[in-house]
Amino acid sequence: MEENQTSTKAWELLDEALFTSKHVKDRDIKAGSTDWENVYPTSLEETDKMDALMDEAEKEAGSQRDADFNERLAELRDITEWSRKRHKTWKWSLIAGALLSVAIFWYFNNDNEEDVKAAKEVVASVENWVECDTTITYKQVKSNSYGDYQSYYRIRLRNAKWYKAYLLNKAKYEELSSLDRVKEYRLRADTATTDKRKEWYLKAAKDSEERAKEYRTKFDEQSKMGFEDIKKLALEDVGGTLKRHESSKSTTTGWIIYLVILIPLYIISGYAYGYMITRHRRQHSIMNTLQKWGYRAAVFFFGTGLAMNLLPDNIVKYQYSNGATSTEREANVMNIIVIALKVGLVVVGVIIFCFTAVFIMTIETITGLMRNFNWAPLINKVKGQATKLGEKAAEQTGKLGKKD
């Protein structure tokens, strides 16, 4: 009877170890069984408790152990041993996405660098403008179409007079366009079938008339500007372009730096204790699902783009007056559309692939750094040094006060 009681108590201790994890529900304990994945501990404390209970069960069982007991004990020992070790959680597939992102940002960063260089040269050329007469009258400005405005835009930075011509041309074009709309709206108001529509057209005509006056006022103000004022406006124009290019370059450079830092941090933080993996298994499941579907979408778009065959060329048969015939292959203009579609699909696939990888790496790196390292000693050390510095500063301040 003694042997049977000891064996029963040992089994009870082993069952208690089996149900230590917080993933085990009360209903599982009452039923006396649970899913095996729920047995894994979720903290160091639970791991220690499981080992302690197993040690006690072994001691209680003594030499009176059956095969089932030994098998269950070995299985639980494997679980706690796995839980105490660190395991690699980072993935090469995600790193590949980050490296591809670095390559893409590097390419665009070089383009942005060239744009910044060119913009700086333009700013320098405007700063070195030679002073000239900038007198231009209203009649001298011929602005009959948007094409005239575009023509002036392309050559506006040659000198101050050309830039002023560009500004005045733009103002006069907007003024004349607004006056044309005034006439159009008033004509439509005369032929409107309802009072509501007539009222709307008359209001639109009035608004356009106000805009025309504003542009004429702007024209008159700019026409009075001399060389220095025009140069100032031109520098604001090209300076704004330079700032936009510098901003774009800063953005791509920032992403490159971020990814270069992220990749090693992702690897360093990607060694989690087994109990941490179990504790946050829902997050791991979500991240795995996100990666799976993100990469599937990327493969779908990328693969579809590569797999699309160009539309075949047109086969044209010619018949001549002498009865002879010939067959020739002519390019199908629709192939251009297909090529554009292929490129678009491939680009979408690459973007999804990179975004998925970087997004998951960012989350896993942040959570990994928080969970897989003990920051408390470092934080306490920093706080201690800060306290000492504060006390020292207060002491110095007290000494100075006594001297006064």
Q: Rounded to whole angstroms, how far apart are CA atoms 172 and 245?
A: 30
Q: Rounded to whole angstroms, how far apart are CA atoms 44 and 357?
A: 30
**Contacts of residue 352, Cβ cutoff 8 Å, sequence gap at least 6:** 294, 297, 298, 301
Q: What is the pLDDT of residue 129?
A: 93
The whole model's pTM is what? 0.77
Q: Helix 44-61 crosses helix 67-84 at what angle (to 10 degrees)?
A: 160
Under 8 Å between Cβ of 246 and 349: no
Q: What is the pLDDT of residue 335?
A: 61
Q: Rounded to whole angstroms, how far apart are CA atoms 12 and 401?
A: 71
Q: Rounded to whole angstroms, how far apart are CA atoms 354 and 271?
A: 23
Under 8 Å between Cβ of 157 and 125: yes
* Whole-number Cα distances in Å, 404 to 18, 38, 99: 72, 70, 63
Under 8 Å between Cβ of 339 and 310: yes
Q: What is the pLDDT of residue 1?
A: 36
Distance separating the N- and C-terminal Cα atoms of the chain: 89
Within the chain, which residues score under 50 in pLDDT?
1-6
User: Which of 66, 53, 56 has the alpha carbon at shortest distance from 19?
Assistant: 53
60-85 burial code (b ≥16 CB/10 A, e <16): bbeeeeeeebeebbeebeebbebbee
Residue 81 structure tokens: 């041993």
Q: What is the pLDDT of residue 12?
A: 87
Q: Rounded to whole angstroms, how far apart are CA atoms 162 and 172?
A: 15
Residue 264 structure tokens: 């090693």
Q: What is the pLDDT of residue 153?
A: 81
- Condensed to tens digits (0 to 9), the pLDDT of residues 253-298 reads 999 999 999 999 999 999 999 999 989 988 988 999 999 999 999 9
Q: What is the pLDDT of residue 121?
A: 95
**Torsion over CA: 93, 94, 97, 101 (sign):** negative
Q: What is the pLDDT of residue 5?
A: 40
Q: What is the pLDDT of residue 336?
A: 66
Q: Rounded to whole angstroms, how far apart are CA atoms 188 and 202?
A: 9
327, β-bridge pairs: 317
**Contacts of residue 334, Cβ cutoff 8 Å, sequence gap at least 6:** 311
Q: Rounded to whole angstroms, how far apart are CA atoms 193 and 205?
A: 17
Q: Which amino acid is at 335?
A: N
3-state secondary structure (DSSP) of residue 396: helix
Q: Rounded to whole angstroms, how far apart are CA atoms 143 and 120?
A: 31
- Condensed to tens digits (0 to 9), the pLDDT of residues 111-122 reads 999 999 999 999
- Condensed to tens digits (0 to 9), the pLDDT of residues 75-99 reads 999 999 999 999 999 999 999 999 9
